Structure 1
Amino acid sequence: MKFRFPIVIIDEDFRSENSSGLGIRALAHAMEAEGMEILGVTSYGDLSQFAQQQSRASAFILSIDDEEFGGGSPEEIDFALTSLRAFVEEIRYKNSDIPIYLYGETRTSRHIPNDILRELHGFIHMFEDTPEFVARHIIREAKAYLDGLAPPFFRALVQYANDGSYSWHCPGHSGGVAFLKSPIGQMFHQFFGENMLRADVCNAVEELGQLLDHTGPVAASERNAARIFNADHCYFVTNGTSTSNKMVWHSTVAPGDIVVVDRNCHKSILHSIIMTGAIPVFLMPTRNHLGIIGPIPLSEFTMENIQKKIDANPFARAAKNKQPRILTITQSTYDGVIYNVETLKEMLDGKIDTLHFDEAWLPHATFHSFYQDMHAIGPNRPRAKESMIFSTQSTHKLLAGLSQASQILVRESENNKLDRDRFNEAYLMHTSTSPQYSIIASCDVAAAMMEAPGGTALVEESIFEALDFRRAMRKIDQEWGQDWWFQVWGPDNLCEDGIGSREDWIIRAEDNWHGFGKLAPNFNMLDPIKATIITPGLSLEGHFSETGIPASIVTKYLAEHGVIIEKCGLYSFFIMFTIGITKGRWNTLLTALQQFKDDFDKNQPMWRVLPEFVANNPRYESIGLRDLCQQIHQAYQAHDVARLTTEMYLSDMEPAMKPSDAFAKMAHREIERVSIDDLEGRVTAILLTPYPPGIPLLIPGECFNKTIVDYLKFARDFNHRFPGFDTDVHGLVTRVENGVKNYYVDCVRADCC
């Protein structure tokens, strides 16, 4: 296939009929005759917008003749050089390789400062050579640049798809041909396109290498990604970081091993505990009454405290090996709280065999000094002496991977090297023998995109856009004065421009914005690209206001206005400033929030402002938006839900069985379905996960306490009263009996505990 990367010419005379215009157009025609696309413009315009062309162009040609230098006065020359320097710097800030040429009739390199000259690929003096010769020279450099762009696997995949070979291997659509035999298949083919289907191949294609044994172009791409991410090893994973986590655990943990785990970890870690037969001891994070999960206090990580937890756990006390096999923490919570990894390495090196950081939401951190030491593996970081470091990352969440694109990064210790063959046995246990090659290619490309300086520029742009959004939200709040507006959770001090200092984002014990209590100095930071928006109605201390706006109504409103939110809590919702977020997107969100405010203040009827929602839930048709918000707010207030959920997650969870043993009871059908009203004291056989926040509350083998049962009763009553705003709890089994929806949980049979 032919990729579109035009050569960009910037010359004020590009459309003029003078000799300069005729000359540059002759060069443009010569390059077009060689098959290159040309984009000609007459001024630098807005630098930031033109610099975006570096991702779409194959070369730049910049004029430096009298028209650009304003006739030649010292002031005009200084201004022209300043513009030229700014443009070149803006290009090189993101792209160190794209060819840049200067050309002129009267001026030469003698008129250009060295700091500009050193960034150039050439200097063209018009009319000394034929346009055809100059065109071939520029095209050679442009093609060399383009040839060097593709990382190993993506290059091999493109070559294979372009080769025109007949496919006799899986998948059965044979490069998309099968779809062409059916009307609906034709629609599918037209929607996804020829290239995606031709590139959908199986592991029988030897020239693409093997993901399963990490050979060929796949292996070259994994090595390339390891270099870019400053790791010793990288493994691409095509079914998400849930699977990456299980691979790490199965390579490290065996039945009966003690493991130390963040209590608010992702459910894949709890699945790993069940699958490996491990004995978990949990580190308890802080939490504020807005439902935002905070950091695990530094004191929880001391070996003295971990040993106390081991001694208090009847199954851990009986373990043969008392040294924990692995520590897994969530390195970047949903809301962006992260840890100083160097502090944890100093505390735990050699005391726990493997330190595993679930960095699903933090793959960008290694590419900017803003996050120095606040991520697992990075440049110029000391190795641990004994403990192996693993980082599992979702390249599809904050980088440019396709959905399910993930990777495992490994940092060896001074005295402990990774046995790749042994690790691959665990890898094979969880990967598909038919991996999706487009996902592999996206892992490859997502890593290559982060190569310096481009990766640093992309991350810095994300931080800047996130801070600009926060500044815009504060500006609106100030203009409303005493009226209400949405708040963005985060530090009180916000720099007026740029990205400011990372010290502004360190979470300090004395700060009153976070609600996490007394925290250790320089141990935690908030990632500014994670923005949690707070709706009116609930204070950080858990006090309900007289009126309120539950976040679930706001997010439904936004969805009907084309803005889809990542996560929703009681009075908060969450957005991320990934490298794909633009000014247009966050400004659209901001205007949609202003529209919500206007409709709320006018108490517009629900049929008008949420027509799709009302079509599915006609009971709300005639009620006003503000009135419905108040009804749900009062229901939350009456049950004191903020405190209830806080106490629920911080309450003691007593293990009655090993998680693997309790889950085995389900496999053997030694369970019974217990009504919510009868749950207190019973042992769960399943993961119980309320949404929000999507964090497992109980794991198999733990007992229901009164606080948890009270919450489930509230959820049942709330769902009955406000259908469409259901409190979702994964693990609850619903049955409609005599016209009433009842809720049950699968528990271990009483005679089997």
Structure 2
Amino acid sequence: MSAAFPIAIVTNSVTPAPETWQALDALEEAFIASGTAVERIHAVDDATSYGRLTTDNSAVVYVVDPRALRGDDEAPMLALREFVRVVRGQNERLPIYLFGEQLTARRIPVDVLSEIEGVVNAHEDTPQFAARSIQREAANYLAKMAPPFFKALIHYADDGAYSWHSPGHSGGTAFLKSPVGTLFHNFFGENLLRSDVSSSVKELGQLLDHSGPVADSEVRASETFRADHLFFVTNGTSTSNKIVWNSCVGAGDVVLVDRNCHKSILHSLMLTGAVPIYLQPTRNRAGIIGPIPRSEFDPAEIRRRIEAHPFIEDGDATPRILTLTQSTYDGILYDADEIKRTLDGHVTALHFDEAWVPHAAFHELYAGMHAVDDRRERTTDSLVYATQSTHKLLAGLSQASQILVQDSETRHLDRDIFNESYLMHTSTSPQYAIIASCDVSAEMMRGVGGRALVEDALTEALEFRRAISRIGRELPEGDWWFDVWGPESALSDGALQREDWLLRPGDDWHGFDGSVDDGFTMLDPLKVTLTTPGLSVNGEFADRGIPGPVLAKYLAEHGIVVEKIGLYSLFVLFTIGVTKGRWNTLIAELHRFKRAYDQNAGLRLVMPRFVAEHPEYRGRRLRDLCDEMHAAYREHDFANLSTDIYLDDPEMTMLPADAWAAMIDGEVEHVPIAELAGRTTAVLLTPYPPGIPLVVPGERVSELIVEYLRVESLLVDEFPGFSGDTHGLASDGTRTVACIRE
């Protein structure tokens, strides 16, 4: 580990006396002689460089310019203070030492002294003694770096013990008995395979009963995320959602569900037999999902809907759970504090599906816009759950997820009952690398580091938005460029302001008409919707347009894969891993697409792999294809049709669980699209994009949905390889839907 984390010596362009340089060289030689690597950095002059020092060094020795102490030049002292401030803003534990001549507490400012581990004056102590002192603190820092589970896993993998338990590859040795296995071993490496172990390894603790180092890490993570309870989950937030539901929802319970929820919530409806009341979000005509109006959370409105529901006999029933998608797929966040105050005691459990906002607890921009935070007011009666995908915006491996719980003043989580549901949905053979990534991604957010990581991501997202806007303004009048969906006020130079990102009625940028409540929701700046010419947020088609699927295919061909594709938009996700190089590369590729479009370049030249897969496009040109697809979208009014199908309120003829049971019993028939209107579906019918179900099992299919499926079929045939598909249609190519037998 010491080789991976050298000690950094930062001279910052200092020009001390030659004898001081000699003492510094002697200190460096003492480090190297005792086995410690050294990184000499001669000029550090910006916050980005300072931040890099905090990630891969075990200590920092900062050489103080003599002018900083003489007082005849303010610049060196300001540089010292800035260095310490920025480093401590990223890492409060990294040892910092000052090196120089006649460094004393009388001459070093208090704000610097309070943040450093010590000083080394040239020629006072031997280089060997000074080196040992710094190495001791560096070793302590490294020893405390890994959180409990990851530390135990490193120790186990390094121990070299023979494996007599599953998995059968026995620490990777099985792979070495086969050529293709050796290829696999070499690709993933020794550490991953040595750490892929069975739950039989007691010293690592148990995920299933939350014991040992696993439990220690979950407790530590709960402190980091300011929750009363936190549980790691190794098979995604889809499973986290099902664990929450199965722990507190039973057959016949009334539940409140965001209509545009993730399909795992709808699967939970089928599993539990609950009776859903759906809360309906708005949308704009560009297909962007908006918020559920504030009025839908009114307890009186909820009571009215319970009393009117044909499947609810007890009009006084208390909803067992509310599940809200926080944020929406397009980045809309609700005022969670207000929702908790409004529904406290009116719903037993408040569940916020925060798959896309595990970062919100770590920056003041999101204050009150996430569910669990022990710094904010606690509910009186309702339990609060949040399920988060730490693999989406934080640093977890795929499937890394976690469940956060906040007790109310009167109701506490029953961990035994909860864990029975946890056991129902969790593998008895969890992947330990995923557990370790849950542990490490939480540790990365601990202390000042969490805010620094989120601040960096916000800065990059804002710079990207502003760069796209600036390029558009600088092009000649009448030329075209891309745009970003969001408030214009946020695009001017200046600091990030929460007020800019709040949705307000009357603002024309969002396109949600009068369904937006003042200050109730905000747009997360990290969720960037890049729009292409051709369609307004009000559903008006331009004369020419660039469909999003064409741009997405082009970008994928050139090494850029986006999160979600709309008819005239791409969704770009800014995570804590996004860098300036990455988003500037995207902008450069957008310029190349523009040039290819303007030149009407042949698809065979700019998208050769796609044309090889779809030879029917050989000889076609980029702008011509965009024109043809845009004309087809406009002819069928496909953008408005794609929005209207989600604004319908489908008729529920049976509970989702009953429809599922009927399908299992074979009480279904496969109905072609032309005969689908009025039939009750037995499956989720889910167009991709955007991946939101149109109908839930047990609901009737409307004429409008049939029209959408008909147009979609035409577009699939006319533009193979570009159009989306609808899950729930038969996979054998017949384009039928499993419906309840009549």
TM-score (norm 1): 0.96
Cα offset, 1:50, TM superposition: 3.2
Deviation at 1:111, TM superposition (A): 2.6
Residue in 1 that maps onto 2:161 = 165
1:420 equivalent in alignment to 2:412: no
C-alpha offsets along residues 44-71 of structure 1, whole Å, 9 cap, x if unaligned?
24342232121111111111244xx38x
Match of 1:653 among 650, 655, 669: 650
Question: In structure 2, what is the Cα distance between the partners aligned to 1:321 and 1:257?
Answer: 12
CA distance in structure 1 between the aligned counterparts of 2:741 and 2:307, rounded to whole angstroms: 28
- State the 1:497 CA deviation: 3.9
Residues 168-202 of structure 1, C-alpha deviations (whole Å, 9 max, x = no match)? 11100011111111111111111111111111011
Determine the C-alpha separation between the residues in 2 that align with 1:366 and 1:106. 44
For the pair 1:381 / 2:373, whether they are aligned, the reply is no
Task: Quote the offset at 1:17 in angstroms.
Answer: 10
The alpha-carbon deviation at position 517 of structure 1 amounts to 2.1
The change in CA–CA distance for 1:15 and 1:207 in structure 2 (over 3 A counts) is farther
> Counterpart amino acid of 2:39?
L
Superposed displacement of residue 259, structure 1: 0.5
Match of 2:113 among 102, 114, 117: 117
Task: For 2:284 and 2:47, locate their aligned partners in 1 and report how far apart those are by CA, in whole Å.
Answer: 44
Q: Return the letter of the residue paired with 1:60.
A: V
Distance 2:683 2:111 in 1: 64
For the pair 1:727 / 2:724, whether they are aligned, the reply is yes
In structure 2, relative to structure 1, the CA distance for the partners of 1:652 and 1:177 (3 Å cut) is: same
Structure-2 separation of matches of 1:13 and 1:698: 65
Answering whether residue 361 of structure 2 is matched by residue 366 of structure 1, we say yes
Any residues of structure 2 matched to 1:187-198 within 5 Å, and which? 187-198=183-194
**Does residue 23 of the first structure (1) align with residue 12 of the second (2)?**
no
CA distance 1:362–1:609, change in 2 (3 Å): same
Deviation (angstroms), 1:74: 4.2
Instruction: Find the aligned partners of 1:648 and 1:422 in 2 and give their Cα distance.
Output: 40
8 Å CA contact 1:65–1:106 kept in 2: the answer is: no
Cα distance in 2 for residues equivalent to 1:397 and 1:442: 12
Residue among 443, 450, 463 paired with 2:445: 450
1:549 maps to what in 2? 546
**Matching residue of 1:7:** 7
Which residue type is aligned with residue 201 of structure 2?
V
| Residues 1:664 and 2:661 are matched in the alignment | yes
* CA distance in 2: counterparts of 1:711 and 1:184, whole angstroms: 47
1:578-597 alignment runs, 5 A limit: 578-597=575-594
CA distance in 2 between partners of 1:479 and 1:325 (Å):
55
Distance 1:230 1:493, change over 3 A: same
Task: State the distance in 2 between where 1:262 and 1:222 align.
Answer: 29
* SS of 1:647 mapped into structure 2: helix
| Matching of residues 479-498 of structure 1 within 5 Å | 479-480=474-475, 481-494=477-490, 496-497=492-493
Partner of 1:138: 134
Aligned twin of 1:744: 736
Distance 1:308 1:604 in 2: 59
Match of 2:555 among 551, 555, 558: 558
Matched, 1:459 2:454: yes
| Alignment correspondent of 2:232 | 236
Q: 1:690 aligns with which of 687, 690, 697?
A: 687
8 Å CA contact retained: 1:14, 1:25? no
1:384 counterpart letter in structure 2? T
TM-score, normalization: structure 2?
0.98
Residue-by-residue CA offset, 1:687-716 (whole Å, 9 max, x unaligned): 110011101111110011100000001111
Kindly report structure 1 stretches of 4+ aligned residues shifted beyond 6 Å: 12-17
CA distance, structure 2, for counterparts of residue 36 and residue 14 of structure 1: 24
Aligned partner of residue 168 in structure 2, secondary structure: coil
Q: Does 1:295 align with 2:291?
A: yes
1:349 partnered with 2:344: yes
Q: CA deviation at 1:304?
A: 2.2
Distance 1:204 1:330 in 2: 37
Following the alignment from structure 2 to structure 1, what is the Cα–Cα distance between the partners of residues 108 and 283?
58
Give deviations 1:550-607, integer Å, cap 9, x for gaps. 0000011111111110000111110111100000011011111111111101110110
Deviation at 1:321, TM superposition (A): 6.6
Q: 1:202 aligns with which of 191, 195, 198?
A: 198
Conservation of the 8 A alpha-carbon contact between 1:209 and 1:217: yes
Is the CA contact 2:539–2:639 (under 8 Å) kept in the aligned structure 1? yes
How far did residue 255 of structure 1 move?
0.5
Contact 2:14 2:63 in 1 (8 A): no
Equivalent position of 1:96 in the other structure: 92
Q: Aligned match of 1:523 in 520, 541, 545?
A: 520
- Residue 738 of structure 1 is matched in structure 2 by none
Structure 2 CA distance for aligned equivalents of residues 319 and 709 of structure 1: 35
| Match of residue 390 from structure 1 | 385
- The letter for the 2-side match of 1:62 is Y
- Measured after TM superposition, the shift of residue 319 of structure 1 is 5.1
Aligned equivalents of 1:2, 1:59: Cα separation in 2:
11
Aligned to 1:621: 618
1:495: Cα distance to partner? 5.4
8 Å Cα contact 2:321/2:348 also seen in 1: yes
SS of residue matched to 1:241: helix
> Given that residues 14 and 40 in structure 1 are in contact (C-alpha distance below 8 angstroms), is that contact kept between their aligned partners in structure 2?
no
State the partner residue of 2:674: 677
CA–CA distance in structure 2, aligned partners of residues 656 and 85 of structure 1: 69
Match of 1:267 in 2: 263
Cα distance between partner residues in 2 of 1:105 and 1:111: 11
d(CA) in 2 for partners of 1:470, 1:350: 41
CA contact (8 A) 2:65 2:76 kept: no
Please tell me whether the aligned partners of residues 306 and 315 of structure 2 are also in contact (alpha carbons under 8 angstroms): no
TM superposition shift of 1:15: 11
Cα 1:458–1:498 change in 2 (3 A) is farther
Give distance in 2, aligned partners of 1:94 and 1:250: 40
How far the C-alpha of 1:75 sits from its partner, in A, is 4.3
- Distance across 1 between alignment mates of 2:212 and 2:171: 22
Q: AA paired with 2:210?
A: H
Query: Is the partner of 1:236 in helix, strand or coil?
Result: strand
Confirm or deny: 8 A CA contact 1:258 1:321 kept in the other structure. Answer: no
- Corresponding letter in the other structure for 1:435: P
| Distance change in 2, residues 1:676/1:251 (3 Å) | same
Deviation of the 1:22 alpha carbon: 2.2
Q: Aligned runs of 1:215-226 on 2, under 5 Å?
A: 215-226=211-222
Classify 1:13/1:251 alpha carbon distance in 2 versus 1 (closer, same or farther; 3 Å).
closer
**Which residue of structure 1 lines up, in the alignment, with residue 402 of structure 2?**
407
Q: Secondary structure at the match of 2:552?
A: helix
Paired letter, 1:265: C
Task: Specify the SS of the correspondent of 1:585.
Answer: helix
Change (3 A) 1:426 1:12: closer
- Write the deviation string for residues 303-340 of structure 1: whole angstroms up to 9, x where unpaired: 22222322333112x25872110000101011110100
- For residues 320 and 306 of structure 1, do their structure 2 counterparts lie closer, same or farther at Cα, with a shift above 3 Å needed? closer
Task: For residue 585 of structure 2, give the secondary structure of its aligned residue in structure 1.
Answer: helix
1:748 to partner: Cα distance? 0.9
Q: 8 Å contact 1:109–1:123 — kept in the other structure?
A: no
State the match for 2:505 in structure 1: 509
SS of the equivalent of 1:398 reads: coil
Identity of aligned residues (%): 54
Letter in 2 for 1:281: I
Tell whether the 8 Å contact from 1:51 to 1:87 is kept in structure 2 after alignment. no
Please give the alpha-carbon distance, in whole angstroms, between the structure 2 residues aligned to 1:583 and 1:436: 33
Query: Equivalents in 1 of 2:70, 2:341: separation in Å?
Result: 62
Distance change (3 Å), C-alpha of 1:728 and 1:416: same
**Count of aligned residue pairs for this structure pair:** 740
Q: Using the TM superposition, give the Cα deviation of residue 734 of structure 1 relative to its aligned residue in structure 2, in angstroms.
A: 4.0
Letter in 2 for 1:115: D
Deviation per residue, 1:425-473 (Å, 9 max, x gap): 0000000000001100000111111012000111111111111111101
Deviations 1:141-174 (A, max 9, x none): 0011111111110111111111111111110001
